[in-house]
Amino acid sequence: MSSSGDFAQTTALFTDRYELTMLDAALQAGTAGHSATFEVFTRRLPEGRTHGVFAGSGRLVEALGDFRFGPAELAWLGAAGVVTEATLRWLEGYRFSGEICAYAEGELYTAGSPVLTVESTFGEAVLLETLILSILNHDSAIAAAAERIVAAAGGRPVIEMGSRRTDVGAAVAAARAAYLAGFTSTSNLEAGRRYGIPTAGTSAHAFTLAFPTEREAFVAQVAALGPSTTLLVDTYETEAAIRTAVDVAGPQLGSVRIDSGDLAKEAARAREILDGAGAGGTRIIVTGDLDDHSIAALANAPVDGYGVGTSLVTGLGAPTAGFVYKLVSVDEQPVAKRSEGKVGVGGRKWAWRVRVPRPPAGSEGPVPDAPEGPVLVDVVLDDPDAGPAGGRPLQQVIVSGGVAARLPSLEETRARHRRFSDERASLGPETPLLVVRDPL
């Protein structure tokens, strides 16, 4: 496993103090070496959503490879009095040696789906909670938002441009998750360098304002980037700018971008002017605090593409997937919380997805409230050999004996998500995934 470049040296302190203090106490009590299984799942989906999109396991595997306690980290932990000297010596040789299984990146999930399972010793596995959750919660939230935005765009391309609305590291991760879920490109160059995502972008209003006139700005941009560039036309007066853009670049002008105003009306007028000037092939790109609802409202407008930033990197109002990391077995014996509102289900679990008919009204069954027609069901059981007939196994090994498996490329993951999403969409927009779990 190689470094993703997110972290200068190590990911080991991208964690919460209590993971280290739990380890310290467990080592002293003699329980750190007991076998343990942790599962990642969410108790509920954001309101109005029928499923989530699992993302981030590829980044997690890379970060796990950098989970090392070097001299600097150990010195700091010792000076801060976080753990005892004996635990510092244990951490010095830390290498995760267990197994991690997960849903495929890009796969859909629902409440209760065991999207990731860690099997190791308690001491090894307890240290990974924050690293796992911080990556999966962020990336899955962005992927779910991206899927909804892409669906609203109805086949028109969407550019990811949220870098200025989030932390620099989160921006790169967001670009990856958005591309996985169907965005066509990103404005973030580091995401392009690191993950091979196509990059896009030409100029901002500042470029136009730096010249005495809009025409001079357009002339300079076309001279540098060619007539196929995208000219931003709403710095002053949009209609006049579109005419100037065609006059400068000619009918082969690549695109115009509109970033303000009533975008439906502006796009319609832009199309009329472009066509009248013989620039029928010039595309119209719109930006400006777009989200899935505003994009859907532009479905009948002559728009050729969208740029989305803030709403994407904030998860369309759900900036986390709500994943939790829970211990479900110790020495192969089920354990679970029993607290009010957070009752768990103990024991290692396996999941399959199966397409089933809706049971007759009033009958007992796993999906009595589902819409008419077939539904997709995640069947979650405590027996790896008890999967339903025709069910598709959802978990795969991504780390075995501490060694990462060969994971699909981002392009392969992107294509796989498209297949999963199409499978789900074929059932209708309101059909949920539903979890069926046998009592343990």
Share of the chain above pLDDT 90, in %: 84
Neighbour tally for 384: CB within 10 Å: 11
148's tokens? 């909804």
Q: By the 8 A CB rule, do 437 and 110 touch?
A: no
pLDDT in tens, 144-174: 999 999 999 999 999 999 999 999 999 999 9
Q: How far, in Å, CA of 317 to CA of 402, rounded?
A: 36
Q: 42 CB contacts (<8 Å, ≥6 apart)? A: 52, 109, 111, 112, 113, 321, 322, 323, 324
User: What is the CB-side half-sphere exposure of residue 152 using CA atoms within 13 A?
Assistant: 21
316 pLDDT band, cuts 50/70/90, is very high
Pairing between strand 185-186 and 433-437? unpaired
pTM beyond 0.85: the answer is yes
pLDDT higher than threshold 90 for residue 77: yes
- In order of their start, the domains of the chain are 143-317 (3.20.20.70)
Share of the chain above pLDDT 70, in %: 94
Mean pLDDT, rounded, for 129-143: 98
Residue type, 404: A
pLDDT in tens, 283-299: 999 999 999 999 999 99
Measuring CA to CA, which residue among 138, 129, 150 is closest to residue 177?
138
* Cα torsion through 44, 311, 281, 207, rounded to 10: -160
